[in-house]
Amino acid sequence: MAESDGQERTEQPTEQRLRQAREKGQIPRSKELGTAAVLLSAAAGLLMLSGPLGRAMSRVFEQNFRVERAVLFDPQTMMPALTDSLVSLMWPLLGLFAIVLVAALVGNSLLGGFNFSTQAMMPKLSKMSPLKGIKRMFGVQALVELLKSVAKVVFIATLAVWLLWSQFENILRLSNETLPAAMVGALELLLWMGLLLCLALLPIVAIDVPFQRWNHTRQLKMTLQEIKDEYKNTEGKPEVKGRIRRLQQEMANRRMMAEVPTADVVVVNPSHYSVALRYDKDKPGSAPVVVAKGLDEIALKIREIAREYEVPVISSPALARAVYHSTKLDREIPEGLFVAVAQILAYVFQLNSWRKGQGRKPVPLKEDLPIPDEYKV
C-alpha cells in the first residue's frame, strides 16, 4: 500500500504502533472463533444438561396438559401455572446460559485478548461518510468476508445434507416409536447432529485466525519514514539529545572539579591523564577513593585546580593510567593498586609534614611503582 509520498509499508509495526492501535480498539478479532465457541458450548451444554432439562420439560408438560376442567376455565390459575413452568425450567436454562456466556467472553477474547477502548466508542464522522462506506463495501476486506461467508454456507450446508442422508433411516425409525421414546430419540439425534455441525466450524476457525493475525499486521505496517519519525518523537532528535548529553557532561564535570580541592593527591601522566585521590585516615578499613579523573583538557583543568589549592601533583604515568581505567568515579581503587597508591600517599603525607617543619624531607619516589600486569595499560 503506497503512501502519499510514494513509500510503501514494508516494515513490521513497532511496539509503540501496536500499543497505540490497541488503545484505539484496533486489535485482531475472529468472528468465526467467537461463533464456534458459542455454538460448541451451547451444544455441549445441551448434552450435559439434557437430563435436568428433559425432566423439567416433562414436568411442565404434565402440569399444563393434565388439568381439570374447572381449573382450565379459571382465569386466576393462569399466572400460577406460568410461574410454576418458569421456575421448573429456570435452573437448567440458567446453567446453559452461564456456559454460553463464559464461552462467548472467552472465545471472543482468545485472539487479541480483553481490551476496553474509550476511543473506539467515540463517534467519528469518517464512519458516516457514504464514500468511505462504499469503499469498505467493495474493498479487499469485504471481498474476503464475502468469499468466507459463501464458503462457510456451502461447507455447512453440504455437511448438513450428508448428516441427514446418513441418518435418514434412523429418522424414519422414530415414527414407529412410542411418544416418550420417540421424543427422547429425536432430541438425542438432533443434539449430536448439531454438535457435529458445530465441530465443522473448527476448520474455518483454523483458517480465519491466522488470516486475521496477518491482516492486522498488514494494516499496521509502517514506512521507513514513519519509523524514523516515531523514533524522533520518542527518543528525541539526535541534535537535541546531543545537546542534552553535553549539558549533562558539563554539569558532571563541574561537580567533579569541585571535589578536586578535597583530594590528598593528584596522580598524573604529564601529557594526558589526571587522577585525584582522597584517603580518609580516620575511617578504619577504607581505601583511597577517586574523586576526579579526566583526559587531555579535563586532565589539565584538574592539575590547574590542584595547583591553585596546593594539592600535591605527583607524576606517575603508569599508576595514573591504571587508576583511570580500573576505577570509576567516587569508587575505591582496586586491591591490586593498594601498594602503589600507599607509597604515593606516604610520600605526600611526609612531604606535607616536612613543609610544616615536623619531619625530614622524604626520599623521592621510585619511577617503577609496583603495579600488577592486569592493571597496566
Q: 293: which strand partners?
A: 275
Does 16 have pLDDT greater than 80? yes
Beta-carbon contacts of residue 185 (< 8 Å; ≥ 6 apart): 170, 174, 177
- For residues 272 and 296, the answer to whether their CB atoms sit within 8 Å is yes
**pLDDT value at residue 98:** 92
Residue with cell 599508576: 319
**Which one-letter amino acid corresponds to residue 103?**
A
Q: Tell me what percent of the residues of the chain surpass a pLDDT of 90.
A: 3
Tell me the domain boundaries of the chain: 15-222, 259-375
> Is 142 in a helix, a strand, or coil?
helix
Task: Look at domain 259-375 and name its CATH class.
Answer: alpha beta
Buried b / exposed e along 217-229 (16+ C-beta atoms within 10 A): eeebebbeebbee
3-class secondary-structure state, position 227: helix
pLDDT in tens, 96-147: 899 999 998 988 888 887 777 666 666 666 666 666 666 666 667 677 778 8
Q: Contact 204/155 with Cβ under 8 angstroms? A: yes
pLDDT, one tens digit per residue, over 334-370 is: 888 888 888 888 888 888 887 777 777 777 777 677 8
Element (H, E) at 310: none
How confident is the model over 78-100, as pLDDT tens digits?
788 788 888 888 888 898 899 99
Residue 5 has pLDDT above 60, yes or no: no
Tell me how far apart the alpha carbons of residues 62 and 60 are, in angstroms, rounded to a whole number: 5
Q: How far is CA 37 from CA 45, 80, 151, 192, 326, in A?
A: 12, 37, 19, 16, 63
Instruction: Report the pLDDT averaged over residues 189-210.
Output: 85
Residue/partner pairs of 162-168 with CB below 8 Å, 24 or more apart: 163/193, 163/196, 163/197, 164/193, 167/193
Q: 329 in helix, strand or coil?
A: coil
Strands across the sheet with 313-315, in order?
A: 289-295, 273-278, 265-269, 313-315
The better pLDDT of the pair 305, 238 is held by 305
